[in-house]
Structure 1
Amino acid sequence: MRARRAVVRPLLTGGLLLTLLVAGCGVRPSEVIEGRPAQSGASQGIRLYLLWRGQVAVVVRAAKPDRTPSPEASLALLLAGPNENERRHGFTSEVPAGLRPVPIAPPTGAAPGSPAAVSGGPDGLTATVEGPVRPLSTDAADQIICTVADAAAQAGQAEYFVPVTIVGSDGARPAEPCSIK
């Protein structure tokens, strides 16, 4: 009988201790943790990369259903900044207001059409804008790079994580892929 008590008592004590430890590991209450606003509207469209609460986030703008948005059109929309609805939902941009897409001649052998502000090559894409690009913040550069790379991928012109070089009046920034996964 003594041997049985010697075994049962430590087990009961251990079980009680374990119960107290587990009960003390509950989730503590916290303030509401907000995420980005849910995307609404068409899931297909022109994807622009804007800032929401200091983070680069994708915003989808409606596009004509029969048309794939071009990198040039996407870049022009990004450079124009957030629309009224996006601003109302807290979206901003660090891309300077003075930047404008600069049309460049399409590569030799390219399909005829209007000149583009985005060109492709073996080392990735090049987005050419009017104005200085070297002082762009990391977020502003990411906004341009991700918008151009995403649009080129949607149009079947490049892979999603293709490096993009941003060229401006003060030279070029090194080619980088979109850092947003």
Structure 2
Amino acid sequence: MRRGVFGRTAGAGALVAAALTVLVTGCGIRTTSVPVDAGAAPSRVPCSTTEASAPGSAVQGVPVRVFLVCGSQLEAVDRRSPLPEEKAGGDPVRTAGGLLAQLLAEPSESERQAGFTSAVRGPLVVSGGRRGDPTGTLRLSRQPEDLAPTALSQLVCTFAESSAGAGGHTVLLGGPGAYEPKRYRCTTELRERPESAPPTAPATAPAATATG
């Protein structure tokens, strides 16, 4: 008699355990107590550099500012150009050439660690305008619209925010063909979304009213 009671009790316990297992599984609760390692939280790139010259060494070159890509946006980076001091701001074409060389150069180790890259690729050369072009026109060896959008945005903002620009955060830019140059403008929106097309206006439009 006791064996029958024990058997019924054990059977009932097994049924209860099975029911609890189904209930827990149906509620979506994991039956394991082993912690799950989801990995480290994603970190944001700093987009800033702290390069310093070696102790006792003089910093060489002329300070220049270029726009590089970091975190899907354009960020200004201070560099040193080998352009002679007396020619740094007097010749817009020479200035633009020095800035272009900076954009074509590989980012330094500290810039790479900070998350900076450049979409500008060679071969690419900048020269002065042709006869009939507005004063201050720069012409590239490739049509601006044929460049990668982010690369063009880098060039526009770098030139427009330098002495090679045409004022009002704009630059007069053309290509090697017979097309008329355009006034490209560097805006906050363009720096935030460099993959978009830079705002343009006719080259003869006043710099203060150049819009997209």
State TM-score, norm by structure 1.
0.54
CA contact (8 A) 1:146 1:178 kept: yes
1:159 has 2:167 as partner: yes
Letter in 2 for 1:175: R
**RMSD after superposition:** 3.7
1:168 has 2:175 as partner: yes
Aligned to 1:77: 102
Cα distance in 2, alignment partners of residues 134 and 66 from structure 1: 33
1:37 has 2:44 as partner: no
CA contact (8 A) 2:96 2:126 kept: no
Partner secondary structure for residue 152 of structure 1: coil
Cα distance in 2, alignment partners of residues 51 and 166 from structure 1: 21
Aligned to 1:126: 137
1:177 has 2:195 as partner: no
Q: Which runs of 5+ in 1 are unaligned?
A: 1-30, 108-118
Q: Return the match for 1:141 from 134, 152, 156.
A: 152
Q: Per the alignment, do residues 72 and 61 of structure 1 end up closer, same or farther by CA in structure 2, a change over 3 Å counting? A: same
Q: Which runs of 5+ in 2 are unaligned?
A: 1-40, 53-61, 90-94, 192-212
The offset of 1:175, in angstroms, is 1.5
Partner secondary structure for residue 50 of structure 1: strand
The offset of 1:32, in angstroms, is 5.8
Letter in 2 for 1:141: L
Q: Return the match for 1:92 from 113, 117, 134.
A: 117
Question: % of aligned pairs identical?
Answer: 23
Deviates more, 1:166-175 or 1:129-138: 166-175
Cα distance in 1, alignment partners of residues 46 and 180 from structure 2: 32
Moved over 6 A (4+): none
The offset of 1:131, in angstroms, is 2.0
CA contact (8 A) 2:45 2:114 kept: no
The offset of 1:48, in angstroms, is 0.8
Letter in 2 for 1:81: A
State TM-score, norm by structure 2.
0.48
Cα distance in 2, alignment partners of residues 147 and 102 from structure 1: 16
Partner secondary structure for residue 82 of structure 1: coil
Aligned to 2:201: none
Aligned to 2:9: none
